[in-house]
Structure 1
Amino acid sequence: MPKMLATLIDRCLFTVFFILGLQLPEFMQQYMQRLSGHLHEAHYQLDQFQAIADSQFQGNLQALIERYQSNSDNVFQQTGQMIENLVLRIDGFNQSLTNLQQGDYLNRLYYFVTQIDPELATATLKQYQLAVPLDMHALATGASFAIVLLLLISLLAVVFKRLIRRFSTDNQVITRGPLT
Protein backbone atom coordinates (compact mmCIF):
# COMPACT_ATOMS: atom_id res chain seq x y z
CA MET A 1 0.00 0.00 0.00
CA PRO A 2 2.73 2.57 0.86
CA LYS A 3 4.48 1.85 -2.47
CA MET A 4 1.23 2.46 -4.35
CA LEU A 5 0.68 5.71 -2.46
CA ALA A 6 4.25 6.84 -3.24
CA THR A 7 3.70 6.05 -6.93
CA LEU A 8 0.45 8.00 -6.94
CA ILE A 9 2.12 10.99 -5.26
CA ASP A 10 4.98 10.85 -7.80
CA ARG A 11 2.51 10.86 -10.67
CA CYS A 12 0.57 13.76 -9.21
CA LEU A 13 3.75 15.73 -8.63
CA PHE A 14 4.93 15.01 -12.17
CA THR A 15 1.61 16.25 -13.55
CA VAL A 16 1.69 19.44 -11.47
CA PHE A 17 5.33 20.13 -12.36
CA PHE A 18 4.63 19.39 -16.02
CA ILE A 19 1.79 21.91 -16.09
CA LEU A 20 3.98 24.46 -14.30
CA GLY A 21 6.76 23.82 -16.83
CA LEU A 22 4.29 24.41 -19.66
CA GLN A 23 3.66 27.88 -18.27
CA LEU A 24 7.23 29.10 -18.91
CA PRO A 25 6.87 29.19 -22.73
CA GLU A 26 3.40 30.74 -22.33
CA PHE A 27 4.73 33.36 -19.92
CA MET A 28 7.54 34.05 -22.39
CA GLN A 29 4.97 34.55 -25.17
CA GLN A 30 2.87 36.93 -23.09
CA TYR A 31 6.03 38.78 -22.03
CA MET A 32 7.01 39.22 -25.71
CA GLN A 33 3.54 40.57 -26.48
CA ARG A 34 3.88 43.10 -23.67
CA LEU A 35 7.38 43.98 -24.88
CA SER A 36 6.01 44.52 -28.39
CA GLY A 37 3.32 46.80 -27.00
CA HIS A 38 5.89 48.88 -25.13
CA LEU A 39 8.04 49.04 -28.26
CA HIS A 40 5.07 50.18 -30.34
CA GLU A 41 4.17 52.89 -27.81
CA ALA A 42 7.79 54.09 -27.59
CA HIS A 43 7.92 54.32 -31.40
CA TYR A 44 4.69 56.31 -31.36
CA GLN A 45 6.17 58.78 -28.87
CA LEU A 46 9.44 59.06 -30.78
CA ASP A 47 7.55 59.62 -34.05
CA GLN A 48 6.17 62.83 -32.54
CA PHE A 49 9.68 64.15 -32.02
CA GLN A 50 10.79 62.78 -35.38
CA ALA A 51 8.05 64.87 -37.04
CA ILE A 52 9.56 68.00 -35.44
CA ALA A 53 13.04 66.90 -36.54
CA ASP A 54 11.70 66.32 -40.07
CA SER A 55 10.26 69.82 -40.32
CA GLN A 56 12.99 71.74 -38.45
CA PHE A 57 16.21 69.74 -38.83
CA GLN A 58 15.85 67.90 -42.17
CA GLY A 59 14.96 64.71 -40.31
CA ASN A 60 18.04 64.74 -38.06
CA LEU A 61 16.71 63.63 -34.69
CA GLN A 62 20.14 63.93 -33.08
CA ALA A 63 20.22 67.64 -34.06
CA LEU A 64 16.86 68.12 -32.32
CA ILE A 65 18.17 66.37 -29.19
CA GLU A 66 21.32 68.51 -29.19
CA ARG A 67 19.24 71.68 -29.62
CA TYR A 68 17.13 70.77 -26.61
CA GLN A 69 20.15 69.85 -24.50
CA SER A 70 22.11 72.99 -25.39
CA ASN A 71 19.25 75.26 -24.35
CA SER A 72 19.87 77.19 -21.15
CA ASP A 73 16.40 76.34 -19.83
CA ASN A 74 16.50 73.25 -17.62
CA VAL A 75 13.08 72.10 -18.89
CA PHE A 76 14.38 71.90 -22.46
CA GLN A 77 17.56 70.14 -21.34
CA GLN A 78 15.48 67.52 -19.55
CA THR A 79 13.27 67.12 -22.62
CA GLY A 80 16.38 66.50 -24.72
CA GLN A 81 17.53 63.87 -22.24
CA MET A 82 14.08 62.30 -22.30
CA ILE A 83 14.18 62.00 -26.11
CA GLU A 84 17.66 60.49 -25.95
CA ASN A 85 16.47 57.99 -23.30
CA LEU A 86 13.51 57.12 -25.52
CA VAL A 87 15.85 56.32 -28.42
CA LEU A 88 17.93 54.10 -26.11
CA ARG A 89 14.78 52.43 -24.78
CA ILE A 90 13.60 51.62 -28.29
CA ASP A 91 17.03 50.16 -29.13
CA GLY A 92 16.90 48.00 -26.00
CA PHE A 93 13.35 46.81 -26.73
CA ASN A 94 14.31 46.00 -30.33
CA GLN A 95 17.35 44.02 -29.19
CA SER A 96 15.37 42.10 -26.57
CA LEU A 97 12.57 41.28 -28.98
CA THR A 98 15.04 40.14 -31.63
CA ASN A 99 16.80 37.87 -29.12
CA LEU A 100 13.47 36.41 -27.98
CA GLN A 101 12.22 35.75 -31.51
CA GLN A 102 15.31 34.56 -33.37
CA GLY A 103 17.63 31.63 -32.88
CA ASP A 104 16.97 28.19 -31.52
CA TYR A 105 14.57 27.64 -28.67
CA LEU A 106 17.17 26.91 -25.99
CA ASN A 107 19.04 30.15 -26.71
CA ARG A 108 15.80 32.14 -26.63
CA LEU A 109 14.82 30.46 -23.37
CA TYR A 110 18.26 31.11 -21.87
CA TYR A 111 18.13 34.76 -22.95
CA PHE A 112 14.65 35.10 -21.48
CA VAL A 113 15.61 33.61 -18.12
CA THR A 114 18.89 35.56 -17.79
CA GLN A 115 17.95 38.92 -19.33
CA ILE A 116 14.33 39.37 -18.29
CA ASP A 117 13.26 42.93 -17.50
CA PRO A 118 11.89 42.72 -13.93
CA GLU A 119 9.46 45.59 -14.47
CA LEU A 120 7.99 44.06 -17.63
CA ALA A 121 7.95 40.61 -16.04
CA THR A 122 6.01 41.90 -13.03
CA ALA A 123 3.50 43.65 -15.27
CA THR A 124 3.15 40.51 -17.38
CA LEU A 125 2.65 38.38 -14.27
CA LYS A 126 -0.12 40.67 -13.02
CA GLN A 127 -2.05 40.16 -16.27
CA TYR A 128 -0.92 36.58 -16.88
CA GLN A 129 -3.46 34.16 -18.32
CA LEU A 130 -2.88 30.46 -17.65
CA ALA A 131 -2.74 28.40 -20.81
CA VAL A 132 -1.64 24.98 -21.97
CA PRO A 133 0.38 25.49 -25.14
CA LEU A 134 0.64 22.32 -27.19
CA ASP A 135 3.71 22.93 -29.32
CA MET A 136 6.84 20.79 -29.09
CA HIS A 137 8.91 23.41 -27.28
CA ALA A 138 6.30 23.86 -24.55
CA LEU A 139 5.85 20.10 -24.11
CA ALA A 140 9.62 19.57 -23.94
CA THR A 141 9.96 22.39 -21.41
CA GLY A 142 7.14 20.99 -19.29
CA ALA A 143 8.57 17.48 -19.32
CA SER A 144 12.11 18.68 -18.58
CA PHE A 145 10.89 20.87 -15.73
CA ALA A 146 8.89 18.02 -14.22
CA ILE A 147 11.73 15.50 -14.52
CA VAL A 148 14.31 17.87 -13.01
CA LEU A 149 12.06 18.76 -10.07
CA LEU A 150 11.20 15.11 -9.40
CA LEU A 151 14.88 14.21 -9.48
CA LEU A 152 15.61 17.01 -7.02
CA ILE A 153 12.83 15.82 -4.73
CA SER A 154 14.13 12.24 -4.93
CA LEU A 155 17.65 13.41 -4.17
CA LEU A 156 16.43 15.42 -1.19
CA ALA A 157 14.46 12.41 0.04
CA VAL A 158 17.56 10.18 -0.11
CA VAL A 159 19.65 12.80 1.71
CA PHE A 160 16.91 13.27 4.31
CA LYS A 161 16.62 9.50 4.90
CA ARG A 162 20.37 9.19 5.34
CA LEU A 163 20.41 12.08 7.80
CA ILE A 164 17.60 10.50 9.81
CA ARG A 165 19.34 7.12 9.78
CA ARG A 166 22.62 8.73 10.84
CA PHE A 167 20.93 10.80 13.54
CA SER A 168 19.10 7.79 14.93
CA THR A 169 22.35 5.75 14.92
CA ASP A 170 24.19 8.55 16.73
CA ASN A 171 21.39 8.79 19.31
CA GLN A 172 21.50 5.08 19.99
CA VAL A 173 25.17 5.30 20.90
CA ILE A 174 24.55 8.22 23.20
CA THR A 175 21.50 6.69 24.92
CA ARG A 176 23.22 3.41 25.78
CA GLY A 177 25.12 5.04 28.58
CA PRO A 178 28.78 4.99 29.51
CA LEU A 179 30.97 2.15 28.45
CA THR A 180 32.17 -0.01 31.33
Structure 2
Amino acid sequence: MTQLLRRLFAFSHRLFDRVLFTLCFIAGVQLPEFIQQYSQRLSGHLNEAQHHLTQFQVIADVQFNGDLSELINRYQQNSDPAIIQTGQLVNNLTVRIDELAVAFSQLQQESYWQRIVYFVQEMNIEMAQATAQQFVLAIPLTFNALVTGALFAFSILTIKELLIMAIKALSTRIFSTKTSTTA
Protein backbone atom coordinates (compact mmCIF):
# COMPACT_ATOMS: atom_id res chain seq x y z
CA MET A 1 0.00 0.00 0.00
CA THR A 2 2.85 2.38 0.82
CA GLN A 3 4.46 1.67 -2.56
CA LEU A 4 1.16 2.48 -4.30
CA LEU A 5 0.84 5.76 -2.39
CA ARG A 6 4.42 6.72 -3.31
CA ARG A 7 3.74 6.01 -6.98
CA LEU A 8 0.49 7.93 -6.85
CA PHE A 9 2.23 10.87 -5.16
CA ALA A 10 5.07 10.79 -7.72
CA PHE A 11 2.54 10.65 -10.57
CA SER A 12 0.52 13.55 -9.16
CA HIS A 13 3.72 15.53 -8.57
CA ARG A 14 4.84 15.03 -12.21
CA LEU A 15 1.34 15.87 -13.44
CA PHE A 16 1.27 19.01 -11.30
CA ASP A 17 4.69 20.02 -12.67
CA ARG A 18 3.49 19.61 -16.25
CA VAL A 19 0.31 21.57 -15.65
CA LEU A 20 2.20 24.30 -13.80
CA PHE A 21 4.82 24.47 -16.56
CA THR A 22 2.14 24.73 -19.25
CA LEU A 23 0.22 27.45 -17.41
CA CYS A 24 3.40 29.41 -16.70
CA PHE A 25 4.55 29.03 -20.30
CA ILE A 26 1.23 30.39 -21.57
CA ALA A 27 1.41 33.27 -19.08
CA GLY A 28 5.02 33.96 -20.07
CA VAL A 29 4.27 34.22 -23.78
CA GLN A 30 1.60 36.79 -22.95
CA LEU A 31 4.21 39.33 -21.82
CA PRO A 32 5.40 40.28 -25.34
CA GLU A 33 1.78 40.57 -26.47
CA PHE A 34 0.92 42.71 -23.46
CA ILE A 35 3.90 44.98 -24.15
CA GLN A 36 2.76 45.24 -27.77
CA GLN A 37 -0.78 46.22 -26.79
CA TYR A 38 0.60 48.62 -24.16
CA SER A 39 2.83 50.20 -26.84
CA GLN A 40 -0.15 50.64 -29.13
CA ARG A 41 -2.08 52.36 -26.34
CA LEU A 42 0.96 54.53 -25.58
CA SER A 43 1.25 55.44 -29.26
CA GLY A 44 -2.42 56.40 -29.34
CA HIS A 45 -2.00 58.67 -26.32
CA LEU A 46 1.09 60.23 -27.90
CA ASN A 47 -0.69 60.87 -31.20
CA GLU A 48 -3.70 62.39 -29.45
CA ALA A 49 -1.54 64.68 -27.33
CA GLN A 50 0.45 65.75 -30.40
CA HIS A 51 -2.81 66.47 -32.22
CA HIS A 52 -3.96 68.76 -29.40
CA LEU A 53 -0.61 70.52 -29.23
CA THR A 54 -0.62 71.07 -33.00
CA GLN A 55 -3.60 73.38 -32.59
CA PHE A 56 -1.63 75.56 -30.18
CA GLN A 57 1.44 75.32 -32.40
CA VAL A 58 -0.58 76.87 -35.27
CA ILE A 59 -1.31 79.87 -33.05
CA ALA A 60 2.37 80.06 -32.06
CA ASP A 61 3.38 79.88 -35.74
CA VAL A 62 1.16 82.84 -36.64
CA GLN A 63 1.66 84.98 -33.55
CA PHE A 64 5.16 84.15 -32.28
CA ASN A 65 7.16 82.83 -35.28
CA GLY A 66 6.58 79.25 -34.14
CA ASP A 67 7.85 79.77 -30.59
CA LEU A 68 5.46 77.69 -28.49
CA SER A 69 7.22 78.65 -25.25
CA GLU A 70 6.50 82.33 -26.03
CA LEU A 71 2.82 81.46 -26.46
CA ILE A 72 2.85 79.69 -23.10
CA ASN A 73 4.58 82.67 -21.47
CA ARG A 74 1.95 85.04 -22.88
CA TYR A 75 -0.83 82.87 -21.53
CA GLN A 76 0.78 82.72 -18.10
CA GLN A 77 1.43 86.48 -17.98
CA ASN A 78 -2.21 87.29 -18.63
CA SER A 79 -4.33 88.63 -15.78
CA ASP A 80 -7.30 86.38 -16.59
CA PRO A 81 -7.10 83.14 -14.50
CA ALA A 82 -8.73 81.12 -17.31
CA ILE A 83 -6.02 82.21 -19.76
CA ILE A 84 -3.29 81.47 -17.20
CA GLN A 85 -4.76 77.98 -16.72
CA THR A 86 -4.77 77.51 -20.48
CA GLY A 87 -1.07 78.34 -20.52
CA GLN A 88 -0.46 75.74 -17.80
CA LEU A 89 -2.50 73.23 -19.77
CA VAL A 90 -0.36 73.80 -22.89
CA ASN A 91 2.81 73.53 -20.81
CA ASN A 92 1.57 70.27 -19.21
CA LEU A 93 0.74 68.99 -22.69
CA THR A 94 4.29 69.59 -23.93
CA VAL A 95 5.71 67.80 -20.88
CA ARG A 96 3.32 64.86 -21.41
CA ILE A 97 4.29 64.59 -25.06
CA ASP A 98 7.97 64.49 -24.12
CA GLU A 99 7.32 61.76 -21.52
CA LEU A 100 5.17 59.69 -23.88
CA ALA A 101 7.70 60.06 -26.72
CA VAL A 102 10.55 58.84 -24.49
CA ALA A 103 8.50 55.88 -23.25
CA PHE A 104 7.38 54.95 -26.74
CA SER A 105 10.91 55.14 -28.16
CA GLN A 106 12.22 52.98 -25.31
CA LEU A 107 9.64 50.31 -26.13
CA GLN A 108 10.75 50.33 -29.78
CA GLN A 109 14.38 49.46 -28.98
CA GLU A 110 16.24 46.79 -30.90
CA SER A 111 16.92 44.66 -27.85
CA TYR A 112 13.93 42.66 -26.73
CA TRP A 113 15.36 42.25 -23.24
CA GLN A 114 15.92 46.00 -22.89
CA ARG A 115 12.29 46.56 -23.80
CA ILE A 116 11.17 44.12 -21.12
CA VAL A 117 13.42 45.69 -18.47
CA TYR A 118 12.26 49.18 -19.41
CA PHE A 119 8.61 48.10 -19.39
CA VAL A 120 8.87 46.48 -15.96
CA GLN A 121 10.78 49.40 -14.43
CA GLU A 122 9.07 52.37 -16.08
CA MET A 123 5.57 51.36 -17.10
CA ASN A 124 2.77 53.81 -16.49
CA ILE A 125 0.54 51.99 -14.01
CA GLU A 126 -2.68 53.68 -15.20
CA MET A 127 -1.92 52.85 -18.81
CA ALA A 128 -0.96 49.28 -17.90
CA GLN A 129 -4.24 48.85 -16.01
CA ALA A 130 -6.20 50.21 -18.98
CA THR A 131 -4.29 47.86 -21.26
CA ALA A 132 -5.03 44.93 -18.95
CA GLN A 133 -8.75 45.74 -18.97
CA GLN A 134 -8.81 45.60 -22.77
CA PHE A 135 -6.14 42.91 -23.13
CA VAL A 136 -6.82 40.25 -25.72
CA LEU A 137 -5.04 36.96 -25.08
CA ALA A 138 -2.84 35.77 -27.89
CA ILE A 139 -0.20 33.15 -28.36
CA PRO A 140 2.50 34.89 -30.38
CA LEU A 141 4.73 32.30 -31.99
CA THR A 142 7.79 34.47 -32.18
CA PHE A 143 11.17 33.37 -30.90
CA ASN A 144 11.18 36.05 -28.18
CA ALA A 145 7.71 35.08 -26.97
CA LEU A 146 8.60 31.38 -26.82
CA VAL A 147 11.85 32.08 -24.97
CA THR A 148 10.04 34.35 -22.52
CA GLY A 149 7.42 31.67 -21.90
CA ALA A 150 10.02 28.97 -21.39
CA LEU A 151 12.15 31.11 -19.06
CA PHE A 152 9.12 32.13 -17.01
CA ALA A 153 7.93 28.51 -16.73
CA PHE A 154 11.38 27.18 -15.79
CA SER A 155 11.81 29.98 -13.24
CA ILE A 156 8.51 29.19 -11.54
CA LEU A 157 9.25 25.45 -11.48
CA THR A 158 12.72 26.11 -10.08
CA ILE A 159 11.26 28.31 -7.34
CA LYS A 160 8.67 25.61 -6.57
CA GLU A 161 11.38 22.93 -6.31
CA LEU A 162 13.57 25.14 -4.11
CA LEU A 163 10.62 25.78 -1.81
CA ILE A 164 9.88 22.06 -1.60
CA MET A 165 13.54 21.34 -0.81
CA ALA A 166 13.56 24.04 1.88
CA ILE A 167 10.35 22.71 3.43
CA LYS A 168 11.71 19.14 3.42
CA ALA A 169 15.00 20.26 4.99
CA LEU A 170 13.19 22.30 7.60
CA SER A 171 10.77 19.51 8.44
CA THR A 172 13.63 16.99 8.63
CA ARG A 173 15.50 19.31 10.99
CA ILE A 174 12.40 19.89 13.13
CA PHE A 175 11.51 16.19 13.34
CA SER A 176 15.12 15.10 14.00
CA THR A 177 15.37 17.69 16.80
CA LYS A 178 12.09 16.45 18.33
CA THR A 179 13.14 12.79 18.19
CA SER A 180 16.58 13.53 19.66
CA THR A 181 15.09 15.54 22.55
CA THR A 182 12.45 12.90 23.32
CA ALA A 183 14.94 10.03 23.25
1:3, distance to aligned residue in structure 2 (A): 2.0
Establish whether residue 68 from structure 1 lines up as the match of residue 75 from structure 2: yes
Residue 131 of structure 2 corresponds to 124
Establish whether residue 35 from structure 1 lines up as the match of residue 45 from structure 2: no
1:172, distance to aligned residue in structure 2 (A): 2.1
For 2:49 and 2:115, how far apart are their aligned partners in 1? 23
Aligned-CA RMSD value:
1.2
The 5-angstrom pairing of residues 9-158 of structure 1 reads 9-158=16-165
For 2:181 and 2:130, how far apart are their aligned partners in 1? 56
Report the TM-score when normalising by structure 2.
Answer: 0.92
1:108, distance to aligned residue in structure 2 (A): 1.0
1:47, distance to aligned residue in structure 2 (A): 1.1
Q: Which letter maps to 1:164? A: S
For 1:170 and 1:82, how far apart are their aligned partners in 2? 69
Aligned length: 176
User: What residue ranges of structure 1 are gaps of 5+ in the alignment?
Assistant: none
**Residue identity (%):** 48
1:170, distance to aligned residue in structure 2 (A): 2.1
Q: Which letter maps to 1:60? A: D
**More deviation, 42-51/164-173:** 164-173
Post-superposition, which runs of at least 4 consecutive aligned residues in structure 1 deviate over 6 A? none
- List per-residue Cα deviations over 1:65-90 (Å, max 9, x = no partner): 01001112222222111111111111
User: What residue ranges of structure 2 are gaps of 5+ in the alignment?
Assistant: 1-6
For 2:129 and 2:15, how far apart are their aligned partners in 1? 35
- List per-residue Cα deviations over 1:96-138 (Å, max 9, x = no partner): 1111012211111111111111111111111111111110110
For 1:167 and 1:26, how far apart are their aligned partners in 2? 46
For 1:162 and 1:123, how far apart are their aligned partners in 2? 44
Report the TM-score when normalising by structure 1.
Answer: 0.93
Establish whether residue 7 from structure 1 lines up as the match of residue 10 from structure 2: no
